[in-house]
Structure 1
Amino acid sequence: MEFVIKISQFLLSLSLLIILHELGHFLPAKWFKTRVEKFYLFFDVKYSLFKKKIGETVYGIGWLPLGGYVKISGMIDESMDKEQMAQPPQPWEFRSKPAWQRLIIMLGGVTVNFILAIVIYIGMSYYYGDLMLPIDNIQDGILIENNVAKEAGLETGDKIVAVDGKKIEYFSQLPENVLFGNTITVERDGQTKDVHLPEDFLAQMIDSKEPFFIDLRMPFIVAQIPDSSHNKQSGLKEGDVIVALNDTPTKYTDQVVPALEKYKGQEVDATVLRDKQNITIPLEVNSDAKLGLAYATGATPKTLEELGYYTYVTKKYNLFESIPVGLTKAKDKLLSYFKQVKAIFTPSTGAYKGVGGFKAIYDIFPAFWSWEVFWSITAFLSIMLGVLNLLPIPALDGGHVMFLLYEMVSGQKPSEKFLEKAQIVGFIILIALVLFANGNDIFRAFSD
């Protein structure tokens, strides 16, 4: 069932993005009276799952879910239709249109991608609002479990106040800013200090395969007391929060393990938070430093607020307020992704090791259905698709745009033979990138 939910979200998001991207090419092509021969979701190698001709265009669904395309008459594209290109140019063909019209047609796909992301972020801001945890409301610092982060100098209990001199306002901003940051300003034991991350910090994080490196410190909430537990008759109940063992505070789960080591093989008086009251319950710590119970690995914002651990801020927006908020979110995500692409093409960062293909995208989607999560991921993927398509690689939109800009500036149109060869080179580069990204997925799967 988990696979069905994840693959359904994956295919729905991918289909939506492909159709709208290709529609971005299709509509201006039609507007400029350019013939569109095909409009396909997925690739129809050898055969189609569905196709129907309406007017001069064949609309269809291919069997290979690696993308989609529109075939525009008189354009050197992935179809490599040399026979058509050998004929004299016709008025309805792409190559017969002015350069500015061809440029608009080629930029239509990525334009739709960016507009879609903006619309989604505006809609989400209006419908859901924002639930945020201000950094100032994290009184006892963050949780650091990853050994790479520890070796870099970060510690559990650190209050991160700035990254590269920029103040961090909300917890949700922390992971990405730290991951791509250089100097982390933390407050530790009442003093402020700078932690300088190594240049290949991102590569080390990818190689470590350890848990996420920045998280909230969570309360030790009793989730289950098995019948076999030596503390079954202690009086503990599910939902109890163990906040101290004897005189040792255990407000957070990360404090429980060292406390249990300290008292292993002994009976302790546990201070338990129940219904907002502290009560004392005797518990036995066995020789393995275990209590013989299961605890919750996380908690909802509502639960954390009720327990008094964190205070969240909920922001609601009306329709007009949601517009600048959505635009800001789209801008921040776009700049963030540019930062990631820059890191990928900077070998010293090792970010290229984290590049993933279709499995990596599939893994982003949760094992449960949430429209809020779905639209958030789809908006990000739309930005990602737009940015990647703008890369100046022949066979991508950015490659066509690069040659069109050259034509508009120089007044000279590259020959069709040159464009055909460039398209082939572009395909080789594109295939290499696809193989590398999906090869990373396979390598990580076997490594795990």
Structure 2
Amino acid sequence: MEILISALQLLLGLSFLVGVHELGHLWAAKAFGIRVETFSIGFPPKLLSFKIGETEYCLSAIPLGGYVKIAGMIDESLDTEQLKSEPQAWEFRSKPAWQRLIVMLGGIIVNVIVGVVIFIIYTFSFPDSYYPMQEVNKHGIYPSELGTSLGFQKGDKIQRVNGRTLQSFNELANPATILEGGNIEVERNGTIVSLPITDDFIRQFSTNKSARGFVSPLMPFKVGEVMPKKPAALAGLQVGDSILSINEQNIRYFQDLQTAIAEGKGKKLTIKALRQNQEVVVEADLSKDSLLGIRPEIKLQTREESYTFAQAMQVGSVRAFEVVFLQLAGMKQIVSGTIPMSESVGGLISIGKFYGGIWNWERFWFLTGMLSMVLAFMNLLPIPALDGGHVMFLLYEMIAGKPAPEKVMEIAQRVGMVILIALMVFANGMDIWKAIRGWIGL
């Protein structure tokens, strides 16, 4: 069922984004009196279609994109027969270069508008909840194995990243923060220590989702809930207890508790706790159950920040374009060889995993907004068969004062289609290979 829900969210999100993208081309073309012969979501074979005026609207079987067939233009259909006749007033090729440029940018512009609008509405609708860095630095951070490899130590207090003071702990795990490289300054025992962000760290951060938690805030806690019939309940732990030690190992933070439980699996734990200013000692038996059976009440103070609609317009717009800057930073790391392309690209399976197996509209629209900005960015790349390839030829025409030869454009379109198909096969092939590796435990 989770796979089905993930697939449905992926299909809905991509169909929506492809639809509005192609509508951008259609609206721009019709605005300049250019005939649009076909508007399709998905690639043939057709599942259903209807005609309004001179345009056939289709829903097709292969949900890997979509297209509009604009009269008088060399496009994905590679139909060049109509180009052998004299240009007609309603054809793409008969219009001024600036109008053709707007038509080719129409899909990208609409994707940007949709992405920005989604981010604005999302920012307005859902308050930010985060740990202020000032609150985190009362106790410091706890590094994972990856964080330790970068040089972090338990209790380090984050001061600056590339000379910038962070306001929220969320900023530290933001890919845009890490991909720019540089260094992270921490306070350790009263001394400022600089930790360089290495290429190896960037590679692991970018290719392993769990690496995003390379550090976490140290979390003081007390017992918030005791699960029935679990070792904690059977031992007599109570809601509100503060655990002081386990098997004489001091417990101050929730991470200490997790470590002590992991080390105590299969054993009896002697737990010392503070209850209403009195120490109590209980024994929990983990020989038959690896879970202690409590849920913590974290004592760190979170902050919620809501935005007026005017504020959301500014903050949401910035967040939308941060997605584009992140794509640029990631591409730079791929080109430099820091991040292997085989680990950084993903196909439909990867996107579906982001949507997840539980239908959550908040997450759905956030991811769809991100994908809208990514789609705009990818389509602007100067690859023939993408909008950016057409834009490249149109800019050449506007600068040179004459269009590129039709034969050159036809060949470029064919080469571009081969490149796009190869990229799709590669991305989806890597998804399948990663899934196989996971199944067989490689």
* TM-score normalised by length of structure 2: 0.88
> Residues of 2 paired with 1:378 and 1:178: CA distance?
23
Compare 130-139 and 73-82 and name the one that shifted more. Answer: 130-139
Report the Cα offset of residue 2 of structure 1: 2.2
> Residues of 2 paired with 1:425 and 1:347: CA distance?
25
> Do 1:217 and 1:252's aligned partners in 2 also have CA atoms closer than 8 Å?
yes
> Do 2:268 and 2:287's aligned partners in 1 also have CA atoms closer than 8 Å?
no
Structure 2 partner of 1:80: 78
> Residues of 1 paired with 2:242 and 2:94: CA distance?
73
Cα deviation, 1:368-420, whole Å, max 9, x if unaligned, reads: 33322221111111111010001110000111001100110111200111000
> Residues of 2 paired with 1:371 and 1:287: CA distance?
39
Structure 1 partner of 2:251: 250
Structure 2 partner of 1:140: 139
1:439 maps to 2:439:
no
Report the Cα offset of residue 14 of structure 1: 1.1
| Count of residue pairs brought into register by the alignment | 432
1:213 maps to 2:211:
no
Structure 1 partner of 2:346: 356
* AA of the residue aligned to 1:144: P
Structure 2 partner of 1:325: 315
> Do 2:38 and 2:70's aligned partners in 1 also have CA atoms closer than 8 Å?
yes
Seen in structure 2, the aligned counterparts of structure 1 residues 85 and 130 have a Cα distance that, compared at 3 Å, is same
1:158 maps to 2:156:
yes
* AA of the residue aligned to 2:345: V
* AA of the residue aligned to 2:392: M
Structure 1 partner of 2:409: 419
> Do 1:234 and 1:282's aligned partners in 2 also have CA atoms closer than 8 Å?
no
Seen in structure 2, the aligned counterparts of structure 1 residues 228 and 243 have a Cα distance that, compared at 3 Å, is closer
> Do 1:344 and 1:352's aligned partners in 2 also have CA atoms closer than 8 Å?
no
> Do 1:265 and 1:284's aligned partners in 2 also have CA atoms closer than 8 Å?
no
Seen in structure 2, the aligned counterparts of structure 1 residues 25 and 344 have a Cα distance that, compared at 3 Å, is same
> Residues of 2 paired with 1:18 and 1:208: CA distance?
28
Seen in structure 2, the aligned counterparts of structure 1 residues 245 and 107 have a Cα distance that, compared at 3 Å, is same
Compare 160-169 and 399-408 and name the one that shifted more. Answer: 160-169
Seen in structure 2, the aligned counterparts of structure 1 residues 132 and 388 have a Cα distance that, compared at 3 Å, is same
SS of the residue corresponding to residue 321 of structure 2 reads helix
> Residues of 2 paired with 1:262 and 1:4: CA distance?
39
> Residues of 1 paired with 2:417 and 2:432: CA distance?
22
Structure 1 partner of 2:122: 124
Q: Could you tell me which runs of 5 or more consecutive residues in structure 1 were left unpaired when the two chains were aligned.
A: none
Structure 1 partner of 2:272: 270
Structure 2 partner of 1:16: 16
* AA of the residue aligned to 2:31: W
Seen in structure 2, the aligned counterparts of structure 1 residues 267 and 25 have a Cα distance that, compared at 3 Å, is closer
Seen in structure 2, the aligned counterparts of structure 1 residues 258 and 264 have a Cα distance that, compared at 3 Å, is farther
> Do 2:321 and 2:373's aligned partners in 1 also have CA atoms closer than 8 Å?
no
Structure 2 partner of 1:282: 281
> Do 1:17 and 1:113's aligned partners in 2 also have CA atoms closer than 8 Å?
yes
SS of the residue corresponding to residue 334 of structure 1 reads helix
Report the Cα offset of residue 183 of structure 1: 1.1
> Do 2:203 and 2:339's aligned partners in 1 also have CA atoms closer than 8 Å?
yes
> Residues of 2 paired with 1:419 and 1:278: CA distance?
81
Seen in structure 2, the aligned counterparts of structure 1 residues 354 and 88 have a Cα distance that, compared at 3 Å, is same
SS of the residue corresponding to residue 311 of structure 1 reads coil
* AA of the residue aligned to 1:106: M
1:234 maps to 2:235:
yes
> Residues of 2 paired with 1:265 and 1:370: CA distance?
40
> Residues of 2 paired with 1:215 and 1:113: CA distance?
35
Structure 1 partner of 2:183: 183
Seen in structure 2, the aligned counterparts of structure 1 residues 242 and 64 have a Cα distance that, compared at 3 Å, is farther
> Do 2:234 and 2:284's aligned partners in 1 also have CA atoms closer than 8 Å?
no
Cα deviation, 1:116-175, whole Å, max 9, x if unaligned, reads: 111112212222232232211112223322x33322212343322222222222122111
1:339 maps to 2:339:
no
> Residues of 1 paired with 2:291 and 2:115: CA distance?
48
Compare 102-111 and 163-172 and name the one that shifted more. Answer: 163-172
Report the Cα offset of residue 20 of structure 1: 0.8
> Do 1:220 and 1:251's aligned partners in 2 also have CA atoms closer than 8 Å?
no
Aligned pairs for 1:290-439 (under 5 A) are 293-296=292-295, 304=298, 309-350=299-340, 353-439=343-429
> Residues of 2 paired with 1:65 and 1:413: CA distance?
33
1:28 maps to 2:28:
yes
> Residues of 2 paired with 1:351 and 1:257: CA distance?
36
> Do 2:20 and 2:111's aligned partners in 1 also have CA atoms closer than 8 Å?
yes
Seen in structure 2, the aligned counterparts of structure 1 residues 252 and 396 have a Cα distance that, compared at 3 Å, is same
Q: Could you tell me which runs of 5 or more consecutive residues in structure 2 were left unpaired when the two chains were aligned.
A: none
> Do 2:271 and 2:284's aligned partners in 1 also have CA atoms closer than 8 Å?
no
SS of the residue corresponding to residue 388 of structure 2 reads helix
Seen in structure 2, the aligned counterparts of structure 1 residues 28 and 208 have a Cα distance that, compared at 3 Å, is closer
Cα deviation, 1:171-190, whole Å, max 9, x if unaligned, reads: 22111213542311122233
Structure 2 partner of 1:56: 54
Report the Cα offset of residue 39 of structure 1: 0.8
Structure 2 partner of 1:100: 98
Structure 2 partner of 1:39: 39
> Residues of 2 paired with 1:331 and 1:397: CA distance?
19
Compare 241-250 and 331-340 and name the one that shifted more. Answer: 241-250
> Residues of 2 paired with 1:343 and 1:265: CA distance?
47
> Residues of 1 paired with 2:318 and 2:156: CA distance?
29
> Do 2:202 and 2:338's aligned partners in 1 also have CA atoms closer than 8 Å?
no
Report the Cα offset of residue 355 of structure 1: 1.4
> Do 1:225 and 1:232's aligned partners in 2 also have CA atoms closer than 8 Å?
yes
> Residues of 2 paired with 1:289 and 1:220: CA distance?
24
Cα deviation, 1:326-363, whole Å, max 9, x if unaligned, reads: 22222323222221222222213436522111111111
Report the Cα offset of residue 232 of structure 1: 5.0
Structure 1 partner of 2:65: 67
> Residues of 1 paired with 2:16 and 2:77: CA distance?
23
Report the Cα offset of residue 280 of structure 1: 4.0
> Residues of 2 paired with 1:189 and 1:369: CA distance?
46
> Do 1:10 and 1:362's aligned partners in 2 also have CA atoms closer than 8 Å?
yes
* TM-score normalised by length of structure 1: 0.87
> Residues of 1 paired with 2:378 and 2:59: CA distance?
23
Please report the RMSD computed on the Cα atoms of aligned residues, expressed in angstroms: 2.9
> Do 1:161 and 1:167's aligned partners in 2 also have CA atoms closer than 8 Å?
yes
> Do 1:180 and 1:202's aligned partners in 2 also have CA atoms closer than 8 Å?
no
* AA of the residue aligned to 2:142: L
> Do 2:178 and 2:202's aligned partners in 1 also have CA atoms closer than 8 Å?
no
> Residues of 2 paired with 1:263 and 1:356: CA distance?
38
> Do 2:233 and 2:293's aligned partners in 1 also have CA atoms closer than 8 Å?
no
SS of the residue corresponding to residue 42 of structure 1 reads strand
SS of the residue corresponding to residue 154 of structure 1 reads coil
Compare 363-372 and 218-227 and name the one that shifted more. Answer: 218-227
